Structure 1
Amino acid sequence: MTGPRDVEAYLAEFEDIPGTRVFTARRARQGYHLNQFAMSLMKPENRERFKADEQAYLDEWPMSEEQKQAVRDRDYNRLLDLGGNIYFLAKVFSSDGLSFLQAVSTMTGMSVEEYQAMMLAGGRSPEGVRSKKEER
C-alpha cells in the first residue's frame, strides 16, 4: 500500500519535467476560480464585459492578484503554473482572436511558423534535458 510520503514523492517528480506542467489535483484546486473565469468567456455577453473592462471583470472572480496579473499579461505559462488548464485558458486567447497555434507558439518562444513546422515534423525531440534537477 502506498503511504502519504510515497504519494508526495511521486507527485514531486512531475515538477522535475522541464517545460511541462502536469495538471494535478493541487493545480486544479489552485486554479479553480481562474479556470471558472476562463470558462465564463464561452458566453458572448461575458466576453464583451471582459473586453470592455478587463480589470472590473477580473475583480468579480476570487482569484489571486498573481493570477489576475498573469491574465492581464496574457502570460499563459505563468497561468499554467498558477493552476490554469490549457483547455480552459483557450477561452482567454480565443477571446483575443488568437488561434490555439498562435497562443501556444507564444508559450514556446517560437514564431507561429517555427512552432507549426516543429509540430508538423513530429514535435519536440525526446533528446535533451529530461530532468530539471539532474540536468539530463
Structure 2
Amino acid sequence: MAIKKDYEDIPGTFVFDADRGREGYHLNQFCISLRLQKNRDAFNADEEAYLDNWPMTPEQRAAVLRRDWNGLLELGGNIYYTSKLAANDGINFQNLAGLMTGMGVEAYREMMVNGGRSIEGNRYASEWEGKEEE
C-alpha cells in the first residue's frame, strides 16, 4: 500500500519518485533504447513488434502507440526518457511541452519568455475545488 505523499495534490503534475520509477521501469527502458539509431530504425519499421521486447503494461503500451505524452508520465514515464520517443517523432522538448500543456508551441514559448506560468491558483488541486462551476 503506497503512502499518500503531499506532492500528489499538485494539479497536472506527476512527480517521478521511486514508486513511479518502479511502475515505469520497462516503459523507460524502451524509451531510452531509442537513443540508438538501430533501435529507432527497428521501432519505426514495426512499432508493435519492437514493443514486444518490453514487458510494459497494456496501458503503457497503448500510451506509447497513441503518443499520449501526459499519459506516459502518469504511467511511470520519466520526462527525460519519454522525450526520446518525442525526438524520434521529430518533436523537440519545447514543442513537447507545448503539446503536453495543451497550449500549443507558440503560446507555451510566449508564456515561458514572459516568466512562466503564474503560481496563483496552481499550487494544489484542492485550491481548484468548486472553481469548475465559476
**In structure 2, what residue type is equivalent to 1:71?**
V
**In structure 1, what residue type is equivalent to 2:60?**
Q
CA distance in 2, matches of 1:70, 1:93: 13
Aligned pair count reads 129
Q: Per the alignment, in what secondary structure is the counterpart of residue 125 of structure 1?
A: coil
**Alpha carbons 2:28, 2:82 under 8 Å: kept:** yes
2:62 is matched with: 69
Shift of 1:103: 1.2
- Whether 2:95 is the aligned partner of 1:102: answer yes
**Alpha carbons 2:27, 2:76 under 8 Å: kept:** yes
Superposed CA offset, 1:64-95 (max 9, x none): 01001001111110000000000011110000
> What does residue range 1-136 of structure 1 map to in structure 2 within 5 Å?
8-9=3-4, 11=5, 13-135=6-128
1:3 is matched with: none
**What percent identity do the matched residue pairs reach?**
54
Q: Per the alignment, in what secondary structure is the counterpart of residue 9 of structure 2?
A: coil
Once superposed, what is the RMSD of the aligned Cα atoms?
1.7
**In structure 2, what residue type is equivalent to 1:97?**
G
**Alpha carbons 2:121, 2:127 under 8 Å: kept:** no
Shift of 1:134: 4.2
CA distance in 1, matches of 2:112, 2:24: 28
- Find runs of 4+ consecutive structure 1 residues off by over 6 angstroms: none
| Structure 2: tracts of 5 or more residues without a match | 130-134
